[in-house]
């Protein structure tokens, strides 16, 4: 299976954060350098799902050059939260299908490694109908994912709140199985969501259980990225509220267990913690890198 990121070459952490590209992709690369990131996540359009900003050939060329200079080892787009691939409402569903295709095409244009999306919410009725709608929405873009330079499409693990799909790994497996296990559709983990869904990062045995469950449910080769966020709410709460690193319920102990696990540590890590301004990510990235160095030194 073709992998955009080679974990065996990871060495130091590949860690970044979600940055705005509203002022252009090259500008976002500059901010990444300022905060000490070597990975970057972005919205391909307004997060509320508005129209895409046009990216010229000149901006694209400058971005590709600036990305190399900045040492960005992984770039990933986040499909807007307003996209609901499981929606039972025809207008919302057709909007989701259109945005998914357009944003994957944008990712290919700018050379992003992957695009991550929330699987969706069935809203009402039978959850299985929501899963079928997700499969039907993704099927038409599978040929796009086979084209040269295409990104991966990653389904995010969710907290399981309300009617959302993806709070259980079996739900992600059902989508992948329904799609016929396509080679460039995988999974993006989220520490806060998994904690809320019942995986306690503070217990090393629970971390091992998560990795084993992922291997069994979807295959580890499909796990391509990791959102690193602390949690405002307790383990198993099924409530999705991110907190700054080390200041929530997961805490230092939980993230230390994550970093001690070689498979998890090798994944590209993207921060989505609450901040007042993008430069605040510098402290969050430094906290994670400092913890990794302390563990390496035997602290």
Residue 2 is assigned to a structural domain of this protein: no
Residues ≥6 apart with Cβ < 8 Å to 226:
188, 189, 190, 191, 264, 267, 268, 269, 270
* CA 19 to mean position of chain CA atoms: 13
Residue 3 is assigned to a structural domain of this protein: no
DSSP run (H or E) holding 35: helix 25-35
Give the range of the structural domain holding residue 289, as residue numbers without chain letter.
Answer: 11-296
CATH label of the domain that carries residue 36: 3.20.20.150
Q: What is the pLDDT of residue 299?
A: 61
Residue 53 is assigned to a structural domain of this protein: yes
Rounded Cα gap, residues 105 and 15, in angstroms: 25
Q: Any known ligand binding at 261?
A: no
Q: What is the pLDDT of residue 3?
A: 42
Residue 107 is assigned to a structural domain of this protein: yes
Whether the CB-CB separation of 171 and 216 falls below 8 Å is answered with no
Residue 5 is assigned to a structural domain of this protein: no
Q: What is the pLDDT of residue 47?
A: 82
Rounded Cα gap, residues 276 and 150, in angstroms: 33
Q: What is the pLDDT of residue 1?
A: 45
Mean pLDDT for back-to-back runs of 10 residues, the chain (299 residues): 41 92 97 98 87 93 98 97 96 97 97 98 94 98 96 97 95 98 98 98 98 98 98 96 97 98 98 97 98 91
* Token duo for residue 47: 């997060």
Residues ≥6 apart with Cβ < 8 Å to 23:
none
Q: Any known ligand binding at 18?
A: no
Decide: residue 108, CB within 10 A, 0-12 exposed, 13-18 middle, 19+ buried.
middle
pTM reported for the whole predicted model: 0.95
Residue 185 is assigned to a structural domain of this protein: yes
Residue 170 is assigned to a structural domain of this protein: yes
| Domains identified in the chain, total number | 1
DSSP run (H or E) holding 39: strand 39-42
Residue 4 is assigned to a structural domain of this protein: no
Q: Any known ligand binding at 147?
A: no
Rounded Cα gap, residues 25 and 103, in angstroms: 15
Whether the CB-CB separation of 235 and 270 falls below 8 Å is answered with no
DSSP run (H or E) holding 115: strand 114-117
Rounded Cα gap, residues 62 and 77, in angstroms: 18
Q: What is the pLDDT of residue 7?
A: 39
- Measured between alpha carbons, how far is residue 53 from residues 23, 25, 62, 210, 218 in Å? 10, 11, 16, 38, 34
Q: What is the pLDDT of residue 46?
A: 86
What b/e sequence results for 153-179 when a residue is b if at least 16 CB atoms lie within 10 Å of its CB, and e otherwise?
Answer: bbbbbbbbeeebbbbbbebbbbbbeeb
């Amino acid at each position: 299976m073709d992998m955009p990121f080679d974990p065996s070459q990871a060495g130091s952490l590949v860690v970044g954060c979600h940055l705005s590209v509203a002022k252009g992709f090259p500008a976002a690369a500059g901010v990444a350098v300022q905060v000490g990131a070597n990975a970057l996540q972005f919205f391909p359009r307004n997060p509320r799902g508005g129209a895409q900003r046009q990216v010229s050939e000149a901006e694209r060329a400058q971005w590709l050059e600036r990305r190399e200079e900045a040492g960005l080892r992984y770039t990933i787009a986040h499909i807007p939260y307003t996209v609901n691939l499981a929606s039972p409402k025809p207008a919302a569903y057709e909007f989701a299908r259109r945005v998914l295709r357009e944003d994957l095409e944008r990712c290919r244009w700018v050379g992003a490694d992957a695009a991550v999306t929330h699987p969706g919410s069935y809203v009402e009725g039978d959850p299985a109908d929501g899963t079928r709608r997700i499969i039907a929405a993704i099927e038409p873009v599978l040929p796009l994912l086979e084209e040269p330079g295409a990104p991966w499409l990653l389904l995010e693990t969710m907290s399981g709140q309300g009617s959302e799909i993806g709070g259980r790994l079996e739900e992600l497996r059902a989508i992948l199985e329904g799609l016929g296990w396509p080679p460039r559709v995988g999974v993006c983990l989220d520490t806060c969501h998994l904690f809320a869904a019942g995986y306690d990062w503070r217990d090393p045995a629970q971390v091992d259980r998560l990795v084993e469950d992922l291997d069994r449910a979807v295959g580890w080769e499909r796990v391509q990225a990791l959102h690193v966020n602390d949690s405002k709410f307790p383990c198993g709460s099924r409530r999705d509220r991110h907190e700054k690193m080390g200041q929530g319920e997961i805490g230092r102990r939980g993230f230390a267990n994550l970093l001690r696990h070689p498979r998890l540590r090798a994944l590209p890590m993207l921060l989505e913690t609450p901040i007042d301004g993008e430069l605040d990510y510098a402290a969050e990235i430094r906290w994670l890198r400092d913890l990794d160095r302390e563990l390496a030194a035997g602290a």
